[in-house]
Structure 1
Amino acid sequence: MTVLVTGGAGYIGSHMVLELRDAGETVAVIDNLSTGFDWAVPEDVPLHVGNIGDQEFVRGVLRERKIDAIIHFAGSIIVPESVENPLLYYRNNTANTRNLIEVAVECGITRFIFSSTAAVYGNPEENPVSEDARLFPLSPYGRSKLMSEEMMADVATAHDFEYVALRYFNVAGADPAGRGGQSTPRATHLIKVACETALGRRPKMQIFGTDYPTPDGTCIRDYIHVKDLAMAHVAALEHLRRGGKSNVFNCGYSRGFSVREVISAVKSVSGVDFEVELAPARAGDPAAIIAKSDKIRTALGWRPAHADLEGIVRNALDWERHLMDRQKAD
């Protein structure tokens, strides 16, 4: 049987494909290539180019590839963009997920892993934040993901359908073996932006907001290495295959770093003192959010292997250098 990875040509999805292949799984990918790249999918993994909201197209892939589990990454992820264009996010993240789940149920697929987000918590009342904390997203992005979580819970009650929703904190880094990384142009991920600036791909970068109620006035986030996140999905898949019940888990390290601390780490690892400009805070950004991650460690046996900020930065820098070399070759 085959695991379907939606959004498998994108940043996190492509790392998921690598992790599944490394584990000996048969994999297929659906991606519309709006932000992903066909070259990010290994040549021996079938790539079906299309939209997960197109039920006839998805139905054909599920039947052709004999899919028995779906890991769903496809969607939109930029908080400020969601504030400016909420309907895009409710279509891409909620309506399309609804269409995908309906076809999965129709085709008898009972295992579903969903890419959710820490944005469902909004500005948490305490940190680290646990899975049973109040859910109060500050942006259409967070609300679109929370709606999908609620929809999955309802479907699991009504049908033979089990799911795991993984609430990501801030994903960063690149495959330590150099096979993949964050490649999207104009990406907004802090570590990627800082690495691009260190390597001269941007003239400067900005810090958005310096008067948050944090020790240095900048936002604090829990940064998780993309490989550790992919390993969490493998653990979730094993959980469902063992007959495990539907559940929700945080994916983070239970330690936060401020924007200024991350920039300092990038400057230290790269050896470049690049220009940083101060800018107003962005809509939808909470002051601090750090994962309480004991639940996933206990229930799924997840053990992160790359929980080191400098290591995350080093992998990200290596990948940016690879992209520069690739562009020169093209």
Structure 2
Amino acid sequence: MEQRNGSSFTGFILLGFSDRPQLEQVLFVVLLTFYIFTLLGNTTIIALSHVDPHLHTPMYFFLSNLSFLDLCYTTSIVPQLLVNLRGSDKSISFGGCVVQLCLALGLGGAECILLGVMALDRYAAVCKPLHYTVIMHPCLCALMACASWITGFANSVLQTVLIFLLPLCGRNELDHFFCEVPPLLKIACVDTTVNESEIFFVSVIILLVPVALITFSYSQIVRAVLRIKSSAGQRKAFGTCGSHLTVVSLFYGSALYAYLHPSSNDSQDQGKFISLFYTIITPMINPLIYTLRNKEVKGAMRRVLWKDSVSR
């Protein structure tokens, strides 16, 4: 079989769902709708967090960071996917594939870590309320947010370099809808066991360490809430954490399945739909979860809309 370096490829063909042309038409309409809602929902969260003074707290600082991550993450994948679904040309340039892989890995890794940081924030708010403003100092919040981004992209650059150093052979077709690690490994000419072990190890750190942090934080939160005698106080405390816990379950559940589940037991189509879930559907659902379940966000929306109507 012909062996080539990654640099000799002028581009890749993203097969995506090309074996199901009727599904492609449906997916185009559905994903375009989802993408528009993702843009509107996450932009609204970011704008409210900056405009309304009531939301100038660590929780909404991290939430606006999460929304910005979701915006960037989805935008790094969906526009290219929509173009491929709409037309017969399903190619992506070599440089475009490198950039897409690097962005997707970096933003996804940063979101994993940021969700763990947000769990620490909820732990401090519920378990250490008297010291909350001291613990979650603005400088510390900014430092933890920056650390999430830096760690995510440091891992992303490393993984991207290691992937594209592999000699690629055969046809330049990726059986996926975007440039992701598993389909790129499949077109390598050499044994990728070492790469797969390294990716598994890094995935354990990036995914499971924040999950452990979240589990610890919420175990302490549950203990603290159960000590609250007032049922109204318990509902308020659980309501504050409920949105974050829902987002964590959706994102980590699909990501853990995709990266830690043995690929040999997983059909190719199933893997694509799992990827659709955590790259497109979850970023769209997140703003709805935070707005529908959060009285402070709904209150901020009413105040902003009321201010606009009064100014008119």
The normalised TM-score by structure 2 is 0.24
More helix by percentage: 2
More strand by percentage: 1
Higher relative contact order (CA 8 A, sep 6+): 2
